[in-house]
Structure 1
């Protein structure tokens, strides 16, 4: 199997290279950022790209975005996202574009080298390999997004201003609404997001978090 590795931590990158080559695989390139990954895949046309999520320059989601582009430009190349992070938005997009030959495993949950190698074989054969925790978080993010879609445009506008830290008075002034109207919108937001009154939780904060996650 011909493999490209994208991992910005040198010791991990070298460790993966040694592991794979010692088990009879051919590592045709090992790189440390998304641009180099795309270039290596275009040059070598490997069977699989093993990709970390967070790479330079911003160390946020460059690897995952590069994986999506690889699937678009080189659909025959399998992709295994191998990371300690779950990035739900781009993970869902990667799977939505065609889950055949795609995997997403968490580094700390792969306890056996045989399991890792078996996952590579499955991906090369066009199968899908997903850590259950990845599935759980993607489904949770999808449900949150669907819940937010029930908000009216005005309610979303109010919620977005809540996320900016504005009070009801400030929102009323900015949107040329009465204070009572804003209160009604906020109450509807809580209802639609299923945020019941509680002595232990701050509904306004929870609503903002739901908005940011969605």
Structure 2
């Protein structure tokens, strides 16, 4: 199998991470706007960090056994999610996201809740990639040793696409459901100032709720 050139890796990673950046921004928690400068800085940081990570892992792949090198794309995707999502949602990490009581009444904004929300989204995104990027490499490694695949190498790409598509059909909804869209956190897990404010204004509230985003 031909190895992708560095320019090809850079281009396709940039395209992929640009798409992910848009998805991560539009599916953030809350509706607080970002300035053009903030959005531009977040985009450049997210895409550059992800591309550099992919190139580093590509260089590492050349020194790994064939079966191990097949999992490098998954490692790149996982690492990219850990970079892209926090950067595109960095405003939440700085200023917090809205938290409400069980009736939807806004009680304030919490950075701690934002950290939990973003961590949950990162785990979900990595989980989505696990079946599609971990199962097909094992199957393809076995199939490529078979006579019919050696006789018809043109089947390689269609079989890989079919396997990835089949995995995504099940993995995407399952991993989106790993954590509830309306997540919660104990009041004691919030910032002290917000805890005090909630205990003054809503003393019966022990848990607050927030939209974790996607």
Relative to the length of structure 2, the TM-score reads 0.31
By relative contact order (CA 8 Å, sep 6+), the higher-ranking structure is 2
TM-score (norm 1): 0.31
Report which of the two has the higher share of helix.
2
Task: Answer 1 or 2: which has greater strand percent.
Answer: 1
